[in-house]
Structure 1
Amino acid sequence: MPQLNPNPWLFIMLMSWLTFSLIIQPKLLSFTSTNSPSDKTSMTIKTTPWPWPWT
């Protein structure tokens, strides 16, 4: 069964994973996020209870 032969595919997978983790990922992580969650202010909304007709 040829699909069980990991010879070319294992090397390709490992090289792609190493390329991503060592080269591409640090470049992507160096960008700053434009919408940081810490920039948002928390708003408190005043809610009123629902006027139930049967109470």
Structure 2
Amino acid sequence: MPQLNPTPWFYTMLATWLTLSLIIQPKLLSFTSTNLPSHKAPAPTKTTPWTWPWT
């Protein structure tokens, strides 16, 4: 299998990485979450034992 020439692919990768990190990432991080995490303690769950029909 022939090896790819890294010269054009390196600049493509670099341009994609810079676009994602400098343009798209700040836009995504500026959104606020609509469901903020709550500080409530989780309610304890009541568990009942399984009744086996053959015992």
TM-score, normalised via structure 1 length: 0.66
Using the alignment, how far apart are the partners of 1:45 and 1:51 within structure 2?
18
Q: Deviations over 1:10-38 (max 9, x none)?
A: 101111101101111011011112233x2
Unaligned runs of 5+ in 2: none
Identity %: 63
Q: Secondary structure at the match of 1:4?
A: coil
Unaligned runs of 5+ in 1: none
Q: Write the letter of the residue equivalent to 2:38.
A: D
Matches within 5 A, 1:37-52: 38-39=37-38, 41=40, 42-52=42-52
Matches within 5 A, 1:1-55: 1=2, 3-36=3-36, 38-39=37-38, 41=40, 42-52=42-52, 54=55
The runs of 4+ residues in structure 1 deviating greater than 6 Å are none
Count of residues paired in the alignment: 52
Q: What is the CA RMSD across the aligned residues, in angstroms?
A: 2.2
